[in-house]
Structure 1
Amino acid sequence: MSIPFLLVCAMCLDAALGEPDWLWSRIRHPAVVIGNAIGWLDKRLNRGGARRAKGVCTLILLVVVALGVGWVLAQPGGVVEILVCAILLAQKSLVTHVRAVGEGLHASLADGRAQVAMIVSRDTSDMTEEQVARSAIESAAENLSDGVIAPAFWFLLAGLPGLLVYKAVNTADSMIGYRTEKHRDFGWASARFDDLLNLIPARLTCSMIVALSGQWARWRDILQDARRHISPNAGWPEAAMARALDVALAGPRSYDGQLRNLAWVNGDARRNIGTAEVFRACDMLWRVWGLALGLVSVWVGINVIF
Structure 2
Amino acid sequence: MSTALVLALAMVLDALVGEPRAIWDRVPHPAVLMGRVVGWFDRVLNDGGARRLKGFVAMAVMAAGAAILGMVLQVFGPLVELIVVTVLLAQRSLVTHVRAVAQALRLSVGEARRSVAMIVGRDTAAMDGPAVARAAIESAAENQSDGVIAPAFWFLIGGLPGLLLYKITNTADSMIGYRTPRHEAFGWAAARFDDLLNVIPARLTAGLIWLSHGMWAGFAAVRADARLHRSPNAGWPEAAMARVLGVALSGPRAYEGQMRDFPFVNAMGKRDIGPHEVEASCTTLWRSWGLGLALVLLLTLLG
TM-score (norm 1): 0.98
Alignment-derived partner of residue 266 in structure 1: 266
Alignment-derived partner of residue 170 in structure 1: 170
Alignment-derived partner of residue 149 in structure 2: 149
TM superposition shift of 1:218: 2.8
5+ long unaligned stretches in structure 2:
none
- Measured in 2, the distance between the counterparts of 1:203 and 1:56 equals 26
- Measured in 2, the distance between the counterparts of 1:49 and 1:158 equals 35
- Measured in 1, the distance between the counterparts of 2:46 and 2:36 equals 15
Deviations 1:111-148 (A, max 9, x none): 11110010001111111110000000000000000000
Q: Does 1:9 align with 2:9?
A: yes
- Measured in 2, the distance between the counterparts of 1:104 and 1:218 equals 34
Alignment-derived partner of residue 58 in structure 2: 58
Deviations 1:23-45 (A, max 9, x none): 00000100000100100100110
- Measured in 2, the distance between the counterparts of 1:131 and 1:217 equals 29
- Measured in 1, the distance between the counterparts of 2:258 and 2:251 equals 14
Alignment-derived partner of residue 72 in structure 2: 72
Give the RMSD, CA atoms, in angstroms.
Answer: 0.8
TM superposition shift of 1:106: 1.0
Alignment-derived partner of residue 138 in structure 2: 138
Alignment-derived partner of residue 31 in structure 2: 31
- Measured in 2, the distance between the counterparts of 1:53 and 1:255 equals 27
Letter in 2 for 1:195: D
User: After TM superposition, what 4+ stretches of structure 1 lie above 4 angstroms from structure 2?
Assistant: none
- Measured in 2, the distance between the counterparts of 1:20 and 1:290 equals 22
TM superposition shift of 1:170: 0.2
Identity of aligned residues (%): 57
Alignment-derived partner of residue 161 in structure 2: 161
Alignment of 1:60-139 (within 5 A): 60-139=60-139
- Measured in 1, the distance between the counterparts of 2:217 and 2:10 equals 34
Alignment-derived partner of residue 195 in structure 2: 195
TM superposition shift of 1:227: 1.1
- Measured in 2, the distance between the counterparts of 1:215 and 1:239 equals 14
- Measured in 2, the distance between the counterparts of 1:219 and 1:158 equals 29
Alignment of 1:228-239 (within 5 A): 228-239=228-239
Q: Does 1:281 align with 2:268?
A: no
Alignment-derived partner of residue 209 in structure 1: 209
- Measured in 1, the distance between the counterparts of 2:283 and 2:88 equals 21
1:215–1:243 contact (8 Å) kept in structure 2: no
TM superposition shift of 1:154: 0.2
Letter in 1 for 2:61: L
- Measured in 2, the distance between the counterparts of 1:111 and 1:276 equals 16
Deviations 1:4-59 (A, max 9, x none): 00001111111111111000000010000010010010011001110010011001
Alignment-derived partner of residue 255 in structure 1: 255
- Measured in 2, the distance between the counterparts of 1:49 and 1:196 equals 26
- Measured in 1, the distance between the counterparts of 2:289 and 2:81 equals 20
TM superposition shift of 1:200: 0.1
Deviates more, 1:71-80 or 1:131-140: 71-80
- Measured in 1, the distance between the counterparts of 2:302 and 2:169 equals 32
TM superposition shift of 1:216: 4.0
- Measured in 1, the distance between the counterparts of 2:22 and 2:101 equals 23
TM superposition shift of 1:263: 1.1
Deviations 1:126-177 (A, max 9, x none): 1111000000000000000000000000000000000000000000000000
TM superposition shift of 1:217: 3.3
TM superposition shift of 1:222: 1.3
- Measured in 2, the distance between the counterparts of 1:132 and 1:29 equals 28
Letter in 1 for 2:142: E
TM superposition shift of 1:213: 2.2
Letter in 1 for 2:219: W
- Measured in 1, the distance between the counterparts of 2:186 and 2:268 equals 38
- Measured in 2, the distance between the counterparts of 1:177 and 1:215 equals 34
Task: Name the SS for the 1:259 alignment partner.
Answer: strand
- Measured in 2, the distance between the counterparts of 1:189 and 1:121 equals 20
Letter in 1 for 2:31: A
- Measured in 1, the distance between the counterparts of 2:260 and 2:217 equals 31
